Structures are given as structure tokens and as C-alpha cells.
Structure 1
């Protein structure tokens, strides 16, 4: 699809700030920017409060399905002062730590290596009561990005991705029409395997717990090779796939696990994931222009040319959107979402006669949302068997077969749909596409930033968060395990996996 030109919208964003806008005074603060995967978001506030005193959190403005303003999850900022115990950072140093999650993992890779300006939280456009702020800047691939007079976005200091940077290859693991990194661009990275992150097969409650979901049949549904549930459990119903956009780490993980991309070439056996364009043609109503105000319409109740229920693929920007997509399919509600390249869709699940039989892939950090009143209506499923798994209490439904996505199975190497969260920063100076000269993170000017980032990476892989060890946090420890290269089998064996890919997502899991 053609990338939309959003110059008019950007001009409005710069010129028309909210009527209740105010600036957050950050004079004297060290500003540290992290962009990329949503995976660490589950423990982000915990970690920020462990490293900073007096934290005040700001988020982007968003709207719910009723058009009411709420606090978003795409952009966050934690304002505070450094606690003691961070090597290289003086206690009391004023720090504001930013996290951008919009778009997922590729935003912690490509624009970080290239030191590009990206859309960011605008701390000069905040409501100081609600602590909600606007955004600023233009992303790579969107009109106006390379004009420094238009683009006032920020540059990430480091990135996070569900897999290591080399996995983000064309044509399925890049976003906004951007080229993959060259070998020279990847060479500027210092990257670190942080922890093991589990991924799971999910399905709406309309899919019975007794349905057997093998890796091969599930992958074939994700790839559009099985388009009707008749071939899975005998039910004449169309398959609905709620997936992430290209460039997402979750999507990259499922491309590798189910399709062997980019681990092998197409000639060598890699299989392309199905995208929105692979949906049954009859579902596209022809209405809308793809803008946020007038989205393209997709009608999942349509029948194909043979009178069979349609196959539908919906691409979603974030993990929260995948959950909302599953919720809308299960509850037959109209659903509006931003897909790839800022193209918007309205999915008319409300036209369906029965709850949608939808599937998707989510990392296990989504657990606890299965019964949410706005994002629930789905469950994690066993692989190569039947059954529903509840990660919060690590239990399976009665009569379950196959392999459960349990933490113990991760630790024992039985659940291999897991990859290693990666964090990376630039170890060389870069001049970006608007002419900014950005120093290496090893430059003395970045000493405080590098010290904070190094401690952040170290703590993100610790058993404190992978095992909720040493305190009560809001994190979801059953989604992660500390890596054997980091953890201590003697004192913390319950939180350290015995198996790892060794920082290579194309390698099989092996025992350490």
C-alpha cells in the first residue's frame, strides 16, 4: 500500500496544541529515550520507580471507543531523580525517561541505528492535571520526515526489540516502506540479550477448548493456507487472524517460528505470513479512503465466490490492538484500527451472525487481559493439543493435551516459542537524514545516559522482574525467564531458564 502523505495533519499537530496545553519544566534534566517493543512495558513503571525517586508519569492522549479522552499506552515519560545505587549516576540527578511503544520492535532497531527523528511525546503540550500530553515529530516513511523545519521529533538513545536487530529484514519485518539496515548500519549497535520472552497461540472463546491446535495447522491459518475452520475442527466458519503490523517484534517472532523467515530464504522454505491484502476479496466494501476520519471498511460477514465464510486478516499496530481485535471479533463489535503505513480500517464484526473464530499471537506479557471488559474474550491455547491455559495461576483446562505455555515448560525447554528480548544502543557516531550529528553512546558527553541505560538493561534481565523476586510488582513474571548467561542457578533456579537460543533467533533452543 502507498504510504499516506500526512503533511496537513502534521502542520496541525505543530500549530494547534490543546487548549489546556502546558509545558512540563524539564530544565536541567537528563533526557533518556527508549523506543521499540511493548514487551518491557509490563514492568516499565516498576523499573522506573526502582531507579528514580519521586516519579511522575505522563502518557499520550488517546480516545476510547466512545470518543472519550483517556491516557494512552503508545508514549510514556517518567520524571524523577536518580536513586543511589546506579553506578556512574550521581544520586539526585534529575532524569526524565521516555518510552515509545507505537509500532513495536522495529522502532527500537532501524531508527535507533540511523539516529532518526521519530514521533515522540510532546512535553510542551500536556495537561498537568491528567498528565496527558500530545505528540510531536514525523516518523521515517511519512511525508515531511526529512525536513528539519517540520520534524521536531526526538532521537532514541537506545532501543528494545523482541528479537535481535538482524531479524528485521525485508519484506516482512520492516515498516513504513523503510529499507532494512545495511551491514554497516547494523555494525553501529552494541546489543544485549536481556531475558527470555514467551509467546503464545491465542484464540477467541468462540473456538472451543476441545479444538486441537497444532503448530502446523495454526501456522497454516496464519499464512492463509487454511482459510476455514472445517479443516481444523469441522466447523464451517471463516478464519479471522488478528496479527501485528510488519516490523513488530511479535510479528517477527511468529514469522520466524511458523514461517522460518528470515532464517531461510523463500527458496529454502520460508513461508510468507498472510496480510490484510490476502483476505477474501469480497470483504472489502469499497467504502472509505483509509484516513482516520474515513477508514477503509472490511466486512467479515461476507461470503467468498463459492459461498463460504470469508478469511480475514487484520493488521494491528500494538499488542493492545490485537487484544481489542480479538475482543471485537468475539463480541461482534465494530472495530477501528490503524494498520501499516498509517492506513486506517473499520472492521464490521457487528455484521456477523455469530462470534468470530479469531486467532493471533501474543507474548505472554498479555496475560491477565483475557477477561478484560475491553480487551478480553480470548485465551492462550496449548500447542499440538487441546486446552486452555491460564498463565496467572499456571493451570490448564480439564482434559487438556499437548504442551502448555507454562513458565515451567519454558524453564525446562519444552515450550520453544520463546525468543530473547534484545536492547541496543549506538557505539559509533551517526549523522542522520536531516543532518543531525549524534555522538556515540560511548562519548563522554553521554556518560550519565550510558550509565543509566546499562543499569536499566541489567535490571530488566534480573530475577527481580522475571520472577517478581524481592518485592510485589505490577509486572507479569510468568511471561519471562532470566537467561542462563545472566542468572544464578544456585540461588535463583526457579527463575532462570536452562535453555537459550544464545542471542540467535534462528538457532534452536539448546541447554546451557
Structure 2
């Protein structure tokens, strides 16, 4: 049986290269059903393969916003237009009548992150989505279109559905976007249908120069170790403790020379060290010690689910009134320096700029609406920067940053399965109860298929195998069976944040009380 078609409809970024029937559904074609989704960027890359498997072959056209650079296409807006059969989406209807197939135009806004898939749905607020019918899209071949997504090429629509890295009720405090109020739990329950999906692993990315500095500080480059500078195996990965990460992201450290190893500043310890940056062609030899020794924190904008999970896991915010604040001022002159960027692609650009001494990323200039026009690195300095990112990203190390261990544990499927790695959350799909049943049927299928173990293994995790081990997603152990051994062909997480009441990623994850003598306690 084929996979259900729009379970990948959320699959959104970096879709260049998919070849489908050219001009199958060009901008002038009238859709039978048009759906608008907004929210998290973290699941975007992971869900893209699911989408193509569900469209009738030869009918898919992909539309991406095109800011001008190849690396940023589809960063904020994507649209997918194809024919879907009723065999792919059971009970498919148009205007309430059963149909054998339908032309579905699916819009996904990623700009602004997870909260844009939560707060505007609850409040009934229209937000900007990309049009494809305004003469603003250019055919670039193989069913791919590049679109201008500015001004009159945007349309304000109340999203039908959203996707968020954490549950809607967590979008309060530092997770409230600038264009919305904090989530009211009772209102959220009244307005939204929320479907918990799979577990998604997150991590702490650091620039390559900082990665190597941490290797040096932790003795991984000294005899008798066989690790080389930048080696990315599990044995050679440096580590930061939960407390150290909290210290850094809460703005307690101004400059990296405040960190010392046996009384020697980290910046002094690495003086004179070089490494080869092979993420550029030809490779370039760079200094490990940066030209700018201030702490640089590449942070997602308020409303990001990637930010929300980090603050919950490392700062206990908003899970406790005593949680630490990630929204500190800092100092561009003395440090630390916070750079608030939009999506996961912007996070990569921010980390890349400080690894290479380039200036491609933009951080927030003004809010409500969020505008990103301020240069992140206008001085073209190199720096030691940390960020926040899901493990869907940079598996083949094409960007000059690497993930580090947390408390000595690498961010792998195996370590989450065994209850050893702590930085993961269960993401959710939600849709407005007021939308038509036509749309609910499609969106419900998205939520269902996105979390199936077999689909996770075949369509998602195959692209997230890092040098230190497989990572990405695990299915929900409250819905699917598991044994004491991780099955990479159908990965299921026995641990859950949905044990006491409804899903809360503030809960300490535990294995729920079930009759199962094969719980992985080892």
C-alpha cells in the first residue's frame, strides 16, 4: 500500500532537485482544495520525502520563495500543488462530497517558527502566506518554481493548521511571538484539535573552531587519544554539561577567556592552533582561536519551537517561575552578543558566518511584524558561537558547525531510546476546529502518517545519519509497540512527556506504566 500523500505535505525546505512532471500544476490551475499551514521549521526537512510519495506521479509542482541566494530558497515559504487520490487519503471530500481524486494546493509558512502555527490559529489572526498566482513565480524546470514572496505576492490568511516543536500551551513567556498574546490554555482547548506526533531530537551546535577548542580543552587531541582535530565520531566528540549550556545561553559569560582549563584561558590554550575547513572548495586553513573572543549566541526569534524546547530543557523556562531568561540584552562591545534569527536555515547561516568570518545572516531589526535586516557579522570577524538546532540538520557536515555531547552523551536515537540523552521533545500538529471537514481529513492524515515508525525509518531518518550515529525521529511509544532493543527499521521511543495528563514537554520523560516486560533499562 502506498504511503498517504499529504503526510509529507509539511515537508518544506530544501526541495530543489525533486523531479516531477513539469508544469503538472502550474499557477493558472484552479485547486479543488487549498490548505494553509504555518509553524515549525525543524520538521521541514524531515517531512519532505513523505510529500512526494503521496502525490499522483507526475503531478507535483513545488513553489519556493526565492530571496536571491540558492541556500535561502524555500526558507520562509513553500507551496505544493498536486493531484491526490482517495486511495492515498481515505474519505477524501471536496465541498462535502466524496471524490476519487482532488487537486490540492498546500501552502506552508515557516517564517517565525513554531508559534506561527499556534498563536494565530487560537486568536484567529491572519498572517502572511505566499501566493503563487500573482505572476510572481518563475518555472526553473522539473516542476520547480522560484517565487517572489514580498509585498502584493503575500496574502493574509488565518492558517487552517499548524505544526510546532512543542505543545501549544508552552507558548508563553519567552516563547510568545511579538505579534500575538500568550497562549490561554482554556482557549487553546476550545479552538484547537492537537495531535502529538513523534519525538524529535535536538542538540547544541557549535562552530567548528569552538568544537576543536573544546576537544583540546577536554584532552581529546592529546596522547594517547587517537582523535584528530574535528573528528566527529562519538568517541571524539567534546561535551558540555547541562549547567554549562545554561550558563552560556542565559548570558552569564561575556567572553570565552572566562573559561579556563587548569587556570589557562581557553582562548590562550588554543593560541597558534589551526585546522582545515573542508566545508568550502578549495579547503581553507583557519585559526582555531577567533579574532573576536566575545560569546556569540545564535538564537531563534521568540515564538520558535526550537527555542522553546531549549529553554524548557536547559533553563526550566517557562516550566517554572524560577526559570532563567534567554532574552538578555548583552553588549556588542563587551559581550555576550545575542543574534536573533528567523528559521533553522538562518541558524545555519549565523553559525557559518562566525566559523568563516562571513556576513550572510540577518537578525531581527524590529518586531510585530518581525523584520530581519540587521547584519549578524558586519565586521567579518571569526568567533566561537553556539546555537540551537534539531538533528535533522547538517548530517553530512556541509556547514562549518558540529553538535556536541550533553553531559557526555551524544544526540543519537539509541541514547534517547535508552533514556540517556535529554534534549528531545514530542512535536505536535494542530488544526482549527472551525475549518471544513474536507481540510480536516487531509490534515489528520498528515498527523497520522508523520508519526508512523515505518515511515519515520524509510522516509525520514535515512537522511539524518551523522558520523557519530543515527539521529532524527522516534515514533511515540504510547501509540506503538517496542522491545528492549532499538529497531532502526521502526524506531519507537518508550519514554514520553505525556504521562501525567496531556502532553507537556516540561514533564520529566518516563516510560509509561504499561504491561511490557521488555522495557529498555540498561
Q: Name the counterpart of 1:77.
A: 79
In structure 2, relative to structure 1, the CA distance for the partners of 1:219 and 1:137 (3 Å cut) is same
SS, match of residue 193 in structure 1: strand
Give the count of matched residue pairs.
405
Counterpart residue number, 2:471? 478
**Which runs of structure 2 are paired with 1:162-181 in the superposition (5 Å)?**
162-170=165-173, 172-181=174-183
Conservation of the 8 A alpha-carbon contact between 1:262 and 1:270: yes
After TM superposition, the score normalised by the length of structure 1 is 0.74
Answering whether residue 130 of structure 2 is matched by residue 121 of structure 1, we say yes
- Cα distance in 2 for partners of 1:198, 1:499 equals 13
Equivalent position to 1:60, from 39, 60, 65: 65
- Note the C-alpha offset of 1:124: 1.6
Asked if 2 retains the 8 angstrom alpha-carbon contact of 1:29 and 1:95, the reply is yes
Aligned to 1:15: none
Residues 391 and 464 of structure 2 are in contact (CA less than 8 Å); yes or no, is this contact kept in structure 1?
no
- Residue in structure 1 matched with residue 157 of structure 2 by the alignment: 154
How much does 1:52 deviate? 1.7
RMSD: 2.6
CA deviation vs aligned residue, 1:9-39 (integer Å, no higher than 9, x gap): xxxxxxxxxxxxx981242420111110012
What is the deviation of 1:478?
2.3
Equivalent residues of 2:65, 2:73 under 8 A apart? yes
Tell me the residue number matched to 1:412: 418
Cα distance in 1, alignment partners of residues 72 and 416 from structure 2:
36
Deviations along 1:213-272, one digit per CA (max 9) or x if unpaired, are 21111111111112222343422432111110110001111111121111111xxx2110
Distance 2:46 2:344 in 1: 15
In the alignment, is the contact (CA less than 8 A) between 1:410 and 1:416 conserved in 2?
yes
Q: Could you say if the C-alpha distance between residues 151 and 238 of structure 1 is closer, same or farther in structure 2, counting changes exceeding 3 Å?
A: closer
- Aligned position for 1:332: 357
- After TM superposition, the structure 1 stretch with the greater mean CA deviation from structure 2, 325-334 or 184-193, is 184-193
The DSSP-based 3-state class of the residue aligned with 1:224 is: coil
Match of 1:466 in 2: 456
**1:132 corresponds to 2:146:** yes
Rounded Cα–Cα distance in structure 2 between residues aligned with 1:420 and 1:473? 20
Match in the other structure for 1:368: 395
Equivalent in the alignment of 1:396: none
Provide, for residues 90-131 of structure 1, a one-character-per-residue CA deviation record: whole Å limited to 9, x for no partner. 442111111111110000001112232111111123334131
Look up the match of 2:188. 186
| Change over 3 Å in CA distance of 1:416–1:348 after alignment to 2 | closer
Contact map agreement 2:464 2:472 (CA 8 A) in 1: no
Q: Could you tell me how far 1:362 is from its partner in structure 2?
A: 0.7
- Cα pair distance change 1:404/1:474, threshold 3 Å: closer
Q: In structure 2, what is the Cα distance between the partners aligned to 1:419 and 1:457? A: 16
Counterpart Cα distance in 2 of 1:472 and 1:246 = 28
Equivalent pair of 1:329/1:349 in contact (CA under 8 Å)? no
SS of residue matched to 2:139: coil
Q: Which residue of the other structure, out of 318, 330, 341, is the alignment partner of 1:316?
A: 341
For residue 450 of structure 1, report the CA deviation from its aligned partner.
1.1
Alpha-carbon contact 1:119-1:135 (below 8 Å) kept = no
d(CA) in 1 for partners of 2:344, 2:72? 18
Distance (whole Å) between structure 1 residues aligned to residue 464 and residue 61 of structure 2: 18
Do the aligned residues in 2 keep the contact of 1:24 with 1:123 (CA within 8 Å)? yes
**Distance in 1 separating the partners of 2:137 and 2:72:** 12
- 2:43 aligns with 40
Partner of 2:497: 501
The whole-number CA distance in structure 2 between the counterparts of 1:75 and 1:368 is 23
Change (3 A) 1:454 1:69: closer
- Write out the 4+ residue segments of structure 1 that deviate beyond 6 Å after TM superposition: none
Once the two structures are TM-superposed, the CA of residue 492 in structure 1 deviates from its matched residue by 8.2
Tell me if structure 2 keeps the 8 A contact 1:117–1:155: yes
Once residues 241 and 464 of structure 2 are traced to their aligned partners in structure 1, the CA distance between those partners, rounded to angstroms, is: 30
Q: Is the 8 A contact 2:46 2:392 kept in 1?
A: no
1:70 to partner: Cα distance: 6.7
- Taking the aligned partners of 1:456 and 1:71, their CA distance within structure 2 comes to 24
> TM-score under structure 2 normalisation?
0.72
Report the alpha carbon displacement of residue 510 of structure 1 after superposing the two structures with TM: 0.2
The answer as to 2:73 corresponding to 1:96 is: no
User: Does the CA-based 8 Å contact 2:193-2:431 persist in structure 1?
Assistant: yes
Q: Structure 1 regions of 5+ residues with no counterpart?
A: 1-21, 139-149, 284-301, 305-309, 385-401, 428-439
CA distance in 1, matches of 2:53, 2:109: 20
Q: 2:248 aligns with which of 209, 212, 221?
A: 221
Structure 1 residue 174, shift from structure 2 partner: 1.3
* TM-superposed deviation, 1:151: 8.6
Aligned to 1:12: none
Q: CA-to-partner distance for each residue in 1:172-196, whole Å, 9 max, x for gaps?
A: 1112242113344312111011000
Residue 455 of structure 1 is matched in structure 2 by 445
Q: How many Å separate the matches in 2 of 1:414 and 1:69? A: 35
What SS does the aligned partner of 1:314 have? Answer: strand
Q: 1-side partners of 2:440 and 2:179: how far apart?
A: 31
Cross-structure match for 2:324? 271
Residues 42 and 344, structure 2, Cα contact 8 Å, conserved in 1: no
State the secondary structure of the residue aligned to 1:382: strand
CA contact (8 A) 1:328 1:349 kept: no
Whether 2:228 is the aligned partner of 1:235: answer: no
